[in-house]
Amino acid sequence: MKHLDEGDVVMDGGNSFWRDSMRREERVWEDGIYYLDTGTSGGPPGARDGACFMVGGREEGFEIAEPILDELSVDGGLLHVGPPGSGHFVKLVHNGVEFGMLQSIAEGVELLEAGDFDVDLEDVFNNWSNGSVIRSWLVELMRDQIGEDNYEDVPNYIEDTGEVNWLVQEAFKGETPIPVISQSVTELFKSRGNQEHAYQAIAAMRHGFGTHPFGEDDDILKERVTGRVDNVSRSHLEKDKERKEAVRPKDRMDLDD
């Protein structure tokens, strides 16, 4: 604050909590300083070629910063959303939508890998990138990542900085149902192996009410795989044991037996 003068503009381009941005704007406005919560999307490519900005703050402050932001944004990628806090709020909703899209695409990969057909994932995602309803930058990124030589070495552990958690918490407070975004956050937690005791507890209870076995059981596995009259579509998948990936039924037994 001591380095700023009345009429100066501060732009926060990070993924800040919008209520923090509202508080900060109120504080600096006491000295006549504009504070713009500038939600920014596009990643490193956006920094090089033009980003997408969602800006909250006083209109006068936005007008001062607009020429700079217009130069840094892609066509159509600059929006003054509204009053202080609104820019970071819209950006966090954007991130929540992103989480849901990522999870949906990931589940599509899982289905393709587990299906009965030996499809080329890179070809499929390239096809989806051209004219399909779900074509998007994320689909294109998935196509490009599959084509990398080290794709199979990508770990199952997913890290994030937690901004979408704030969104889920606020949605719960306001009783706004967001099941897809909430579940996508939960899936990230699951990737970190945070549930060290939950499945142990479930196994214990199942044993208690139905004498279900602890751990793997070949007889139960056979019942699960052969207990249906109709065919079960599962392809045989090679598993890298060091990655500790889930064991599918056909990896553990010969269904012809």
CA dihedral (12, 13, 16, 19) positive or negative: positive
Encode pLDDT of 22-64 as tens digits: 999 999 999 999 999 999 999 889 999 999 999 999 999 999 9
Identical topology for domains 9-87 and 90-191: no
Tell how strand 73-82 and strand 51-56 pair up: parallel
- Count of residues for the chain? 257
Whole-number average pLDDT of the chain:
88
DSSP labels for 153-173?
G--S-----SHHHHHHHHHHH
Residues contacting residue 42 through CB under 8 Å, at least 6 positions apart: 50, 51, 52, 74, 77
What's the CATH code, domain 9-87? 3.40.50.720
Q: Is the pLDDT of residue 77 over 90?
A: yes
Domain residue limits, the chain: 9-87, 90-191, 198-252
107: amino acid identity, one letter: E
Of 100 and 192, more confident: 100
**Structure tokens given for 88:** 């970071």
Fold of 90-191: N-(1-d-carboxylethyl)-l-norvaline Dehydrogenase; domain 2 (1.10.1040)
Question: 226 in helix, strand or coil?
Answer: helix
> Stretch 69-84: mean pLDDT, rounded?
97
> Stretch 146-163: mean pLDDT, rounded?
88
Task: Give pLDDT, residue 256.
Answer: 53
Task: Give pLDDT, residue 92.
Answer: 96
Of 254, 186, 199, residue with least CA distance to 226: 254
CA dist., res. 182 & res. 164, Å (int)? 9
Residue 117 CB neighbour total at 10 angstroms? 7
Question: 78 in helix, strand or coil?
Answer: strand
pLDDT band at 178 (very low <50, low <70, confident <90, very high): very high
Write down the pTM of the prediction.
0.82
Catalytically active residues are 91, 98
Residue 226 CB neighbour total at 10 angstroms? 13
Task: Give pLDDT, residue 241.
Answer: 43
Q: Is the pLDDT of residue 235 over 70?
A: no
Encode pLDDT of 85-95 as tens digits: 999 999 999 99
> Stretch 113-126: mean pLDDT, rounded?
94
User: Between the CA of residue 178 and those of 86, 171, 172, 184, 185, what are the distances in Å?
Assistant: 19, 7, 9, 10, 11
Encode pLDDT of 183-222 as tens digits: 999 998 888 888 878 787 888 888 888 788 888 888 888 8
| 125 touches 143 (CB < 8 A) | yes
